[in-house]
Structure 1
């Protein structure tokens, strides 16, 4: 199966882009973010797409962006937080090297903040984040080969944990790192 070397999923603000760039640097490959692809193709921020065209339109753009990226990109790929809501996207991710980056609500509030342009968190951000995670966590876990917490970790530590979990981290002697799995790394 060709496609990305690593695919990152998880909620908004978890650090998929930052950790993804660190993972790509370690693997010597390119990084791609489907949210950035959508912004580039539409010429406006995601928050404006939500306002102007609505969430269903955005989700269709997201589904298309994920499909294209999985087919075209061989490096590290970060998906938008809601990409896993689409059944065809979850099917596309089956058997691929997917890492679910997770964090708790307190960390999410610190990272996402209350003033960021996050259309799904506009009203009562803490409660809405909990609701989104209750809906999405089982889907993230369904597609993930590994789960890695980002709490209290630098992007480099998250990158190492993700690569270890996927058994892609090489030790200085060239041997694969500690075997990973669907355990919390």
Structure 2
């Protein structure tokens, strides 16, 4: 392994991983990378399109490959897609790393995501589906996390500071 991310962010869609990740990178003086953005750039299409055209299994295989490459290459702040932790090999690779689980409750998720059609896993009855996704994933997020930071009712700057405090990291 040539590099290792300084911080890996995990959590559900819409929790603010991209926003907080960029703020953390800026405050720590390191680069920022988002595996969902890597997939979109590499495939030349949206994640929703990949889901529709090829199905979730094909997307998850692509996601696993992308996440493993990013974990090996990137030395700054890395944000993973909401479902990346479903893969056991990915969870194993996260062991021993600084992983921050950004959490939020369902009402906050409704406000933030707008629970729109661009979120392929939330297309029908979004509120119930989000709850079910979180019931299936919460323990996995907690399993890989070094720190858990609640985002409810906090600004991105407050979440960023809470993550730095939880990891006992000093900004540049």
TM-score, normalised with respect to structure 1: 0.90
Conservation of the 8 A alpha-carbon contact between 1:160 and 1:169: no
Offset from partner CA, 1:63-122 (integer Å, 9 cap, x none)? 001100000000000000000000000000001000000000000000011334000000
TM-aligned CA deviation for residue 13 of structure 1: 0.1
Aligned residue pair count: 171
1-structure distance, mates of 2:118, 2:34: 18
| Alignment partner of 1:94 is 2:107 | no
Where structure 1 has 5 or more consecutive residues not aligned to the other structure, the ranges are 175-185
| Runs of 4 or more consecutive aligned structure 1 residues displaced over 6 Å after TM superposition | none
2-structure distance, mates of 1:31, 1:104: 26
Trace 1:133-172 onto structure 2 (pairs within 5 A).
133-169=134-170
TM-score, normalised with respect to structure 2: 0.97
Secondary structure of 1:148 counterpart: strand
Where structure 2 has 5 or more consecutive residues not aligned to the other structure, the ranges are none
| Alignment partner of 1:104 is 2:98 | no
CA RMSD, 1 decimal: 1.2
Larger Rg: 1
1-structure distance, mates of 2:151, 2:136: 20
